[in-house]
Amino acid sequence: MNDRPLTINQTLSIVRRPSPNFLKATFAVVWKDLAAEFRSRELFSAMLVFSLLVILIFNFALELDIKTRQSVTSGVLWVTFAFAGTLGLNRSMSVEKDRGCLDGLLLAPVDRAAIYFGKVISNLVFMLIVEAIVLPVYSFLYNINLFQPGLLLVVLLGSIGYVTVGTLLASMAVQTRTRDVLLPILLFPVAVPVLIASVKASGGFLTSADFASEIMPWINLLIVYDVIFTAIAFMVFDYVVEE
């Protein structure tokens, strides 16, 4: 029998080795959130109504010609997505805290990263459903075709980045009394790169800009942002939720 102590690399590999129940726990959190939301429809209804009101206000406020509308469409879309996403992120974590579910999740004998990814996936599903309804409504009101494969890819990448960092900060803000005000203050400065990249890339597709020189750099930024902040959130979520 080998009694030699483990090396640092061996120890780290054992500690960070994924639990066989990691995926099961992650999808359990997702299923819990989806089942609770489809019964109450509180979060989805608030996000959808808010999004539709925003695009209706912009529709009547910006009486512009077709060419000018194309130039402002990407900005209006991402303002709508960002505000609705912030509302959904804040509400999803507030419900967990107010009902005592968050404490129960943290006491569960599973990796807390599974809880984080479960919340990210469920928040992303809600945001994508709202976006799937907003896009055709916006296309009808503004007479613009938003169903372009490249634009839909940007919407997906931007939503992933926004929800990834937003879920982490919402988990931090929910522990405070001023969580409704604190989350936007924390989130918007951190999410500026993903919002700018999403607006620029979306505008490039709508205006038929050159893909290699004007669109691809912003898509690369979105991919890098998503990867980096997913890794950061995975490493620090356990410390964020500690009281």
pTM of the model: 0.86
Please give the Cα distance from 208 to 128 (Å, whole number): 24
Report CA-CA distances (Å) from 42 to 86, 127, 166, 178: 15, 14, 19, 21
| Residues 97-153 pLDDT 10s | 777 777 777 777 778 888 899 999 999 999 999 999 999 998 888 888 888 999 999
Cα 123 to chain centroid, rounded: 6
Long-range contacts of 128-134 (CB under 8 A, 24+ apart): 128/156, 128/159, 129/44, 130/44, 130/47, 130/48, 130/51, 130/81, 130/84, 130/88, 131/81, 131/155, 131/159, 133/48, 133/51, 133/52, 134/51, 134/52, 134/55, 134/77, 134/80, 134/81
Angle formed at CA 235 by CA 111 and CA 152, multiple of 5 degrees: 95
Per-residue confidence band for 19, with pLDDT thresholds at 50, 70 and 90:
low
* Mean pLDDT to the nearest integer, 34-54: 86
For residue 45 the two structure tokens come to 């209804």
Domain-by-domain residue ranges, the chain? 21-240
